Structure 1
Amino acid sequence: MTSPPTSPTETIVFATAPRGPRAWGYFALLAAAPVAAAAYAAWLSIYAYTHYGPVAAWYRPRPYWLLAIVLAAVSLLLALQARWRRQTHLRMGPTGFTLRLAPRPPVSLLWRDVVGIETRFSRSIFGHMHGVIVLHLRDGSRLRLDGRFPNLPGLARRLQRHLYADQLPALRRRWAAGQPLDFGILQIDRHGLTVRQRAFPWHSIARIEMRGGRLVIELNSGKPLILSLRRLRNPDILLWWLHDEAKR
């Protein structure tokens, strides 16, 4: 498939899919399976008719005709899936991005239309990385980037660089004006942080860190607060802000 034209400042990430000679080999294999089953069923029909009569020619090859139909349906679905994956891509530019999750039509948005990014990654027992990137949009909807895209952690870092660069000026203005910054169920300001309407001043907090898919807030006294990262908006920028930006 020909890549869409890009400007020097644009980046295109294609979904993982067979391309070039591998694609032709993949589609040939998908076509060969039902054809082979149908050819064997046809040969068996002729053989049974010439040796045992029309009744045997009707009944004996029926399982293989059924197998050919099932293989044809599965091959068609796999071919459509491969075709859609070849069309799936993410185009990132300096002001926004276009996401095509075929067979859906492409969606074009500005970076400021995205209010948060959520990452969920896990590694299988075979060492393969699985996960999903969820983009939270300003209108309340979500966009999901799943395993169709290669190197999801690297893609998440690219998206975060774009999103944080677009959000930092607004966050700095709110912080300078003394307004709280909203990270989902957690908000922070110059006096401390608030979790589910419960306020904790900065002097009562010993440490904040990510641990095992959770945000752990250790207090100087009492049990630590443990928040699921799924309940937070942009936990990465939250930690970066606390360790770097808030010290300015």
Structure 2
Amino acid sequence: MPTVAIEVVNHRTAETMRRGYMLPVRIGRGATCDIQLDPENRAISRLHVEIGEEDGKPVLINRALNQNATHYRGRSLKASERVPLETGDSFRIFDFELKVLEPAQLMVLAVDRADLRPRGEFPLVPGGALLAYGDGHRLAIEQVANLARIDATRLADKLALIFYYDESEPTFAVLSNPERLQVYLDRGFVQQDALYLQPLDTIELGDHRFEVHPVGQPAIVCENPTCQVLNEYDRGDNCRLCGTRLFGATRIVRGKT
């Protein structure tokens, strides 16, 4: 099913959100929209715009009831006007600017253990998945274009983990865990087999550590050896989890675009 990655910037509050969606994507102030803008702003229509599909590519459809309410490339869109969307295109609805991203820009999963091969950063793309399997000490990682192509029978006796999009939510799940390794999220023990992921999350099982790097933005790793969670680079002097001062942190990371 076609997907699109969207960045939403609220210029009034300076808040930014990046997420992947399956088409069609409904955008407006209504509670049933996939992307809900300011519900108190009556100038925004309940269904303001829709991102649909034509010939396998995203297209922006203006559903706004008000004139001059949707701006694209410096002009106002007419009622029901349709324009093709390319990667990097943006449109504006009052205080909100929405931009089409490369799918790989949405989230980067970093595997960072010296004894783990392969080691590095892997883009998590809407519609695809990252499959990690092996044991408590060493994993192999595959990028899978289609979840249905994963052969679960060959993984039954292995530690098998998957990172994928559940609807529009980036998700981590344990497929099999014969060693009964405990799962930790930001150093806290969790019992769920599946977790929704957010930028700056760290997941640990056995010797394996996975970091969710903010794309294009630096993050700082707490130097406390019993913590080592990710922090926003400019959040302040202290770690968000343990309170350790971040001035002498040993590592700065930056998700690749």
Same fold, TM-score > 0.5, yes or no:
no
Structure with more strand by fraction: 2
Structure with more helix by fraction: 1
